[in-house]
Amino acid sequence: MALPPSGITDEAFLREVDEEYRRDQAAQIFRRYGRLIIGLVVVGLIALAGWLYWQHHSQSTAGRQGEEFDAAMRLVEQGQADKAMPALDKIATGGNPGFAAMARISQGNLLLQKNDAKGAAAKFAEVAGNSKFPQPVRDLALIRQTAAEFDSLKPQVVIDRLKGLTNPNSPWLGTAGELVAAAYLKAGNRAEAGRLYGQIAQGGEKVPQSIRQRAVQLAGVLGVDAIDQSKETKAQ
């Protein structure tokens, strides 16, 4: 190894040698793995670009489907259900699960208006049985399906389907509870029907007032003293 030039300290010379060694090592690594490193960087950039595009596309699609859904609902409000159905068909096969589910439920509601309970139940069932859709929307669809099929179902089928939605903390206590209580009555189980009507009557803000009022009356007919606690609380 050559001696360091005069005026350069040992420490500075060693640092220069060390830096030269590191540059040589880096050059060897790049010659050996350069293509691989460049390839990984390119793949990473492609992946990032793909992710950004997917995000943009998802947001754009959701926005577009939201506008299409609003337009279809305006047709329904204007009494043009026949024109709304094809628009809802398009949304139902779109990429956004929330709008696709609501489009099917809306189609089911329109079929109910035409007294096509069987066709409506089939639309609701498509949503209720699809795990890709949000759970709250699936629960709503299951309730709508059961209501459409209620007259043709055995009481125990209704109870088994919806009992899980009738607990005091369920947001569906009112609507699901009424169907289950009616099924209990249909089966001749007045005690369970009265108990459930009482539970609905005391459901508070999670149950619409009109349903609570009906529940108070029906519970009273069945011998249950059901008091609408939410109204009492407001009065205090």
Q: What is the pLDDT of residues 121-167, one digit of tens each?
A: 999 999 999 998 889 999 999 999 999 999 999 999 999 999 999 99
Which tokens in the block code for residue 67?
């506008």
Closest CA to 12 of 125, 84, 20, 188: 20
Q: Are residues 162 and 215 in the same domain?
A: yes
Whether the predicted pLDDT of 11 surpasses 50: yes
pLDDT computed for residue 50 by the predictor: 44
Whether the predicted pLDDT of 175 surpasses 60: yes
Q: Average pLDDT, stretch 100-110? A: 89
Q: What does pLDDT average to over the chain? A: 77
Q: Average pLDDT, stretch 68-83? A: 79
Q: Are residues 187 and 235 in the same domain?
A: yes
Q: Are residues 137 and 192 in the same domain?
A: no
Domain membership of residue 54 (yes or no) is: no
Range name among 14-18, 30-34, 53-57 with the lowest pLDDT average: 53-57
Give me the number of domains the chain comprises.
2
- Boundary (domain end) residue, out of 123, 152, 181: 152
Q: Are residues 158 and 145 in the same domain?
A: no
CATH of the domain at 76: 1.25.40
Domain membership of residue 147 (yes or no) is: yes
Q: Are residues 144 and 161 in the same domain?
A: no
Domain membership of residue 102 (yes or no) is: yes
Q: Are residues 135 and 189 in the same domain?
A: no
> Could you list the residue range(s) of the whole structural domain that residue 174 is in?
153-236
Domain membership of residue 25 (yes or no) is: no
pLDDT computed for residue 128 by the predictor: 96
Q: Are residues 177 and 101 in the same domain?
A: no
Kind plus residue range of the DSSP H or E element containing 98: helix 97-113
Domain membership of residue 132 (yes or no) is: yes
Q: Are residues 91 and 144 in the same domain?
A: yes
Write out pLDDT tens, residues 36-51.
545 545 444 444 444 3
Q: Are residues 120 and 133 in the same domain?
A: yes
**C-alpha distances in angstroms, 106 versus 72, 75, 81, 188?**
10, 12, 10, 34
Q: Average pLDDT, stretch 26-34? A: 56
Q: Are residues 178 and 148 in the same domain?
A: no
pLDDT computed for residue 88 by the predictor: 87
Q: At what angle do helices 155-162 and 173-186 cross, to 10 degrees?
A: 160
- Boundary (domain end) residue, out of 126, 152, 178: 152
- Boundary (domain end) residue, out of 117, 152, 187: 152
Domain membership of residue 12 (yes or no) is: no
Whether the predicted pLDDT of 89 surpasses 50: yes
Q: How confident is the model at residue 116 (pLDDT cuts 50, 70, 90)?
A: very high
Residue bearing tokens 């009109």: 210
Q: Are residues 101 and 114 in the same domain?
A: yes
- Give me the count of residues in the chain: 236
pLDDT computed for residue 143 by the predictor: 95
Domain membership of residue 109 (yes or no) is: yes
**C-alpha distances in angstroms, 95 versus 52, 87, 130, 131, 232?**
17, 15, 14, 15, 47
Whether the predicted pLDDT of 172 surpasses 70: yes
Domain membership of residue 31 (yes or no) is: no
If one counts every other C-beta atom within 10 angstroms of the C-beta of residue 36, the result is 9
Q: Are residues 137 and 188 in the same domain?
A: no
Report which of residues 176 and 16 the model is more confident about. 176
pTM here is: 0.67
pLDDT computed for residue 58 by the predictor: 47
Sequence-distant (6+) residues with CB within 8 A of 118 are none
Q: At what angle do helices 97-113 and 135-149 cross, to 10 degrees?
A: 20
Q: Average pLDDT, stretch 182-194? A: 95
